[in-house]
Amino acid sequence: MKGGWGAVLARAKWLIRVVRHRRWPALLCIWLATLLAAVVIELVPERYEGSARIYVDTQTVLKPMMVGLTYQPDIDQQVRILARTLISRPNVGRLLDQPDMGFAEEISRNREALVSRLMDKIKIVSTARGNLYTISYRDPSPERARRVVEGMVSLFVNAGADSKKRDSKDAGKFIEVQAQAMELKLIEAENRLKDFKVRNFGLTGVSNQDYFARISGMSDDVARLQSELLAAERARDAYRRELASEDPNLPEEAAPSFAQVAPSPVETRLDAQRKVLDELLLRFTEQHPDVVGARRLLTELERQQRHEQQAKATERSVRPSGLAATSPVFQKLRVALAESEAQVASLSSKLTAMQQRLAQTRATADRMPQVEAELAQLTRDYDVMRKSYDQLVARRESASLGVRLDESAQLAEFRVIEPPMVSPRPVFPAHLHLALMSAALSLALGLVVAMALDVARPTINDAAALEKLSGRPVLGSVTLTLRQDSQRAKWRRTAQFLAALGLLMLFQLGWLAWVASYTFKH
């Protein structure tokens, strides 16, 4: 540790000695560096930074409600891509075309160079989550820096909605064109299928069975109808035999008597109305409305009774005795026989029709498989086109809904968290920063010059240095004693150096103070 501090002290002593012996060249270099830095710094323009912060909210209430109804792209990814591609030549060109930006003179000189320079200076930085974006721009004019940032914020907010609407409309137009083309193909397929069925009417069935399955089914139907017809004919013959052996009339003692016939409904109502009239006459006079209405209804019922009695008398007088069948068993057998004959006729006609269809199908045995194969192919082509058309129509409706959604609401909301503003003081490196760095660098340059001169033309100040440099032992040394006038000259040179050094320090402090006052004033 002591050796380390000793080396540091030795190095410090050597540096002090070098500066003392080479003080005038070092001071001259410091002066020159200071004056040159002052001139260069004044020529370098200061820059002000305009900035704004935007938050993009993609988690809206409308987004989960539209799931499954329309296509929803990755809004977060679209916003990130938009932020990366926002600084492009077309966008920067539109920004420069705005008259209030203040680039008229530079545009007239070299527009392309100005566009390239702005593309390099405008910065868009996002956070780790990617939803918070900072737009910044540095310019010598604070007002122009603020306007450029305002223009970029406007482009960023409007570009997302415009691009998404344009993409939705383009997608809708493309799907509409494809749907119309597919609709024409579907109509052609329907016409081909219709024409094929018309040409092969009677050969193409509505079922999905092939030819052999249809032949087998028809044969089974014919056998079933034949068995049902045979059973119906046997039942009909049995009814005929029973009906032939049955007596159609009942014995005279079993014939119904007319005296035992139940009263008709009109007679029943007539008896009830008479009772009602008697009760009303007990309470009211003949002129009472209820009595008048009851008598009118009684008269009508008596008239109906007379008509009914006349009809019954006429029927008894014109009906021949002994011609109508009076046996209920005979009547039931006759009805059953009629139903059985009708069933036999129906089954016979069905059997005939089925046998004709079976004969026609067997007659077209050589054409049926080919016809059914062509029908299956046409149907398959139609089903494929129909499915594709239905999908395109569904997507067209989804795209239309997406366009209406884009026109009515945005799935991403752009919020300006910090409006465009300009830093009150110039950003790094400002004149004050450059002045401080130039002061430090000028002092360092003076030290470097002194050390370089000492290395180039070394001086020996003691016997140890001489012995080390020559590699030979030093036998003795001679002491130099200055006279009084030499002492005064030495002190005069030291005073001159200190005066020059103090003047340099005053100049640097004054210059730094002036730069600082100018910076904080603006």
Q: How do residues 357-396 score in pLDDT, each as one tens digit?
A: 888 777 766 666 677 777 778 888 888 888 888 888 877 7
Burial 492-518 (b: 16+ CB within 10 A, else e): eeeeeeeebeeebeeebeebbeebeee
Which phi and psi (to 5°) does residue 125 adopt?
Answer: -120, 135
Which pTM value belongs to this model? 0.46
> How far separated are the first and last CA of the chain, in Å rounded?
52
Most confident of 154-158, 329-333, 334-338: 154-158
Distance CA 445, CA 26 (A): 8
pLDDT tier for residue 137 given thresholds of 50, 70 and 90: very high
The pLDDT of residue 260 is 44
- The residues pairing with 136 across neighbouring beta strands, listed in sequence order, are 51, 123
Q: How do residues 8-60 score in pLDDT, each as one tens digit?
A: 776 777 677 777 778 888 889 988 988 898 888 888 888 888 999 988 876 65
- The residues pairing with 138 across neighbouring beta strands, listed in sequence order, are 49
Q: How do residues 431-448 score in pLDDT, each as one tens digit?
A: 777 888 888 888 888 888
pLDDT at 95 over 60: yes
| Average pLDDT of every residue of the chain | 75
Distance CA 241, CA 371 (A): 52
